[in-house]
Amino acid sequence: MYASLWVAVLAAMSPSSVPRFVIKVVAWLPVAFAIWYFTAPALLWPVKLLLELVCGASVADLVRAVEQTGSVFTFATSLRPGIAGATGYVSLEVDGLQYSYGLPLFAALVLAAREPRWPRKLALGYAVLVPVMTWGVLADFLKNVAITSGPLVASQTGFSAPQREVIAFAYQFGTLILPTVAPAVAWVLMHRALLDRFRGHPASS
């Protein structure tokens, strides 16, 4: 799961600098994950706001409301259960922790590097990763209603076969690729001068 993250970072560093940096990252990871776990409701609140904006602009006829309880997002839909005798509407939950573990990974990398203005880098990385987390949560929800919820519910969404294929791809991309690749890419782009020093080259202007 973490292979893409380490490959992106370590490939840009000289062999002599790798062990010390890796030790620092590993030392910071438990701290970063603990902080992320206990502050996840607050860290994910901007994701809820962005989900509301995106759902309101794209699937307003499908999603009536998005609620957040802790790190779990609940999508209240306009879909009927499709079961004889059942009343009310379908609600689906998505655990935001599944799509936000890139935050502590990014934080551990930044703290291990401890470059000047590292708090600014943390804030900027967080801002970059909020849309990434939103992608994963929304794609998970759409996959559930359009593909795995069963034909009686899925038929109410109005998604065509090609649209369901796009949703399946978005879900796979948001689950397997973005959570690990996005933090690594963000870190590398923010620490190019450090990587130049690791490689023994002067920082580019």
Is residue 85 domain-resident?
no
User: Which is higher by pLDDT, 26 or 21?
Assistant: 26
Nearest to 30 by CA among 129, 109, 104, 110: 104
Residues 121-146, mean pLDDT to the nearest whole number: 96
Split into its structural domains, the chain has a count of 1
Task: Provide the CA 8 distance to its chain's centre, in angstroms.
Answer: 18
Q: What pLDDT is recorded for position 17? A: 66
Which segment of 9-23, 110-124, 127-141 scores lowest on mean pLDDT?
9-23
41 CB-near residues (< 8 Å, 6+ apart): 68, 70, 71
Kindly report, residue by residue over 147-185, the tens digit of the pLDDT: 988 888 888 898 999 999 999 999 999 999 999 999 999
* Structural domain span for residue 28: 3-59+97-198
User: Angle, to 10 degrees, between the axis of helix 118-143 and the axis of helix 178-190?
Assistant: 160
Residue 27: phi and psi, rounded to 5, are -65, -35
Which segment of 7-11, 16-20, 134-138 scores lowest on mean pLDDT?
7-11
Is residue 170 domain-resident?
yes
User: Which is higher by pLDDT, 17 or 194?
Assistant: 194
Is residue 186 domain-resident?
yes
* CA distance to 9, 12, 121, 177, 203, per residue, from 4 (Å): 9, 13, 21, 8, 25
Is residue 189 domain-resident?
yes
User: Which is higher by pLDDT, 76 or 84?
Assistant: 76
Please state, in angstroms and rounded to a whole number, the distance separating the CA atoms of residues 188 and 13: 11
**In terms of residues, how long is the chain?**
205
Is residue 140 domain-resident?
yes
Nearest to 56 by CA among 178, 166, 138: 138
Kindly report, residue by residue over 30-78, the tens digit of the pLDDT: 999 999 999 999 999 999 999 999 999 999 999 999 999 999 999 999 9
Nearest to 45 by CA among 124, 137, 110: 137
Query: What is the value of pTM for the model shown?
Result: 0.86
Please say if the pLDDT value at position 10 is more than 90. no
Residue 32: phi and psi, rounded to 5, are -65, -40
Tokens of 17: 């600098």
Is residue 68 domain-resident?
no
Please state, in angstroms and rounded to a whole number, the distance separating the CA atoms of residues 132 and 105: 14
User: Which is higher by pLDDT, 193 or 186?
Assistant: 186
Q: What integer best gives the mean pLDDT of the chain?
A: 87
Is residue 64 domain-resident?
no
Is residue 73 domain-resident?
no
